[in-house]
Amino acid sequence: MPAADERAADPWDLTGELREQARRQLYRRTRVREGGTPRLRERGRELLNFCANDYLGLSEDPRVVEAARAALARDGAGSGAAHLVSGHRPEHQALEEELADWLGRERVLLFSTGYMANLGVLDALLGRADLLLQDRLNHASLLDGGRLCGARMRRYPHGDAAQAARWLASGEHRRRLLATDGVFSMDGDLAPLDALAAACAASGAWLMVDDAHGLGVLGPQGRGSVAHFGLSQTQVPVLLGTLGKAFGSFGAFVAGSEALIETLVQRARTFIYTTAAPTAQAAASRAALRIIREEPERREHLQVLIRRFRAGAESLGLALLPSATPIQPLVLGGAGAALRAAEALAAQGLLVSAIRPPTVPAGTARLRITLSAVHSEAQVDRLLEALARLRLGQAS
């Protein structure tokens, strides 16, 4: 008989595992909240929302909502089948064409979510004979896609284009692909896309950019981080966008060459084997795209808010990350410290999310503050005053 402490723990002791997760301050829970950006309510209490990805405040824009309502009345609640069966509607087709025109890409393919798009693209393009490089801080869906496709995957240090170039130049592989977030979701900084594009060009690799947080926010006409760097379809053959962030809607897409999109239609299992999204979502995204193209004043106001927040936070002695985007994290270190800071802000009527491992590396738990074009300067000042009361600054 083995001694008690050598006996294997019950593999189905889920309650014990959950208790351990809570003990380490890593427990996550869903809370019911009504409203959106900039205001929402939790159990009747109003909170200013500084954690949504609705960077332009389009989710509640009357034109976006009305477009969805009209499509719902016309087409019904569901598409009834996958795109390749009978689910592909004029509204989907029009959205694909308008996105391709906006981004200057040959073609666009819609996916139901960004998570599914990343899994589908990597699995369609790569296999065991291939090399996949990823930034260490890439979104979970890219990492999961890398695991699923079976390619040899290596993760280079954050933003380190020189290391990526060395790895791209070594080894025997059929295809090489480098995948990176355009704007890093938990840090807010930009990938060095110009250097990464040069490294890929030098080794015959493809560059894939997931621009979930750059599209709508950066670049001319809000065309994102790739346009900010002035990179073409040849330099960035795979461009992935989501419609649930600055578009204020839901869904995702891939933009690229005719041959890429046809390959995804034939091979991307997360496109083939799933129901097409309701047209109300596509109609909302089309209305949002029109606003993104035609109303640069939203991006300009957002930049004013970002500068105001950063100047205020600096004068409080807060340690900001080098981010020029609406994602402005304050790294606090321990998970408990981040949770306590978020709770203290909630007590002052401000909703900011505490981001903990494994979403971010251990020891870098943080408040992830996000700004939106529908915030006012006075609301940013309220956030700064509340942060001042927490005494997180180096001076305190």
Residues marked active site are found at: 185, 213, 245
Length of the chain, in residues:
396
The backbone torsions φ and ψ at residue 370, rounded to the nearest 5 degrees and listed phi first, read -125, 140
State whether the Cα torsion 21-24-28-31 is positive or negative.
positive
Distance between CA atoms of residues 391 and 386, nearest Å: 9
Distance between CA atoms of residues 1 and 390, nearest Å: 55
- 212 is a site residue for ligand PLP (CB under 6 A): yes
DSSP assigned state of 221: G
Which stretch, 17-25, 107-115, 167-175, 265-273, contacts ligand PLP (CB under 6 A)? Answer: 107-115
Tell the smallest beta-carbon distance from residue 117 to ligand PLP (Å).
7
Query: Which C-beta is closer to ligand PLP: that of 149 or that of 318?
Result: 149
- 141 is a site residue for ligand PLP (CB under 6 A): yes
The tally of CA atoms less than 13 A away on the side-chain side of residue 50 is 29
Tell the smallest beta-carbon distance from residue 38 to ligand PLP (Å).
20
Which stretch, 167-175, 209-217, 307-315, 376-384, contacts ligand PLP (CB under 6 A)? Answer: 209-217
* Number of residues in contact with ligand PLP under rule CB under 6 A: 14
Interface pick for ligand PLP out of 105, 213, 223, 299 (rule CB under 6 A): 213
Which stretch, 61-69, 114-122, 305-313, 331-339, contacts ligand PLP (CB under 6 A)? Answer: 114-122
Query: Which C-beta is closer to ligand PLP: that of 225 or that of 364?
Result: 225
Beta-carbon contacts of 127 under 8 Å, excluding residues fewer than 6 positions away, are 149, 150, 151, 174
Interface pick for ligand PLP out of 115, 206, 229, 253 (rule CB under 6 A): 115
Distance between CA atoms of residues 336 and 319, nearest Å: 18
Query: Which C-beta is closer to ligand PLP: that of 134 or that of 379?
Result: 134
Angstrom CA distances, 236 to 57, 99, 103, 269, stand at 28, 16, 12, 23
Distance between CA atoms of residues 387 and 348, nearest Å: 10
Tell the smallest beta-carbon distance from residue 185 to ligand PLP (Å).
4
Query: Which C-beta is closer to ligand PLP: that of 118 or that of 235?
Result: 118
- 139 is a site residue for ligand PLP (CB under 6 A): yes
Tell the smallest beta-carbon distance from residue 45 to ligand PLP (Å).
27
Task: Record the tokens describing residue 394, joined without a space.
Answer: 């180096």
66 contacts 78 by C-beta, under 8 angstroms: no
Task: Record the tokens describing residue 247, joined without a space.
Answer: 């578009």
Tell the smallest beta-carbon distance from residue 46 to ligand PLP (Å).
26
State whether the Cα torsion 23-26-29-33 is positive or negative.
positive
Query: Which C-beta is closer to ligand PLP: that of 141 or that of 328?
Result: 141
99 contacts 247 by C-beta, under 8 angstroms: no
Tell the smallest beta-carbon distance from residue 44 to ligand PLP (Å).
28
Tell the smallest beta-carbon distance from residue 315 to ligand PLP (Å).
30
Query: Which C-beta is closer to ligand PLP: that of 139 or that of 375?
Result: 139
- 189 is a site residue for ligand PLP (CB under 6 A): no
Q: Mask 228-267, x = binds ligand PLP (CB under 6 A)? A: --------------x-x-------x---------------
Which stretch, 37-45, 72-80, 85-93, 108-116, contacts ligand PLP (CB under 6 A)? Answer: 108-116
Query: Which C-beta is closer to ligand PLP: that of 116 or that of 338?
Result: 116
Q: How crowded is residue 331: how many other Cβ atoms within 10 Å of its Cβ?
A: 20
Beta-carbon contacts of 380 under 8 Å, excluding residues fewer than 6 positions away, are 305, 308, 309, 312, 371
Task: Record the tokens describing residue 343, joined without a space.
Answer: 């709770």
181 contacts 148 by C-beta, under 8 angstroms: no
Summarize as ranges the residues that interact with ligand PLP (CB under 6 A): 113-115, 118, 139, 141, 181, 185, 210, 212-213, 242, 244, 252
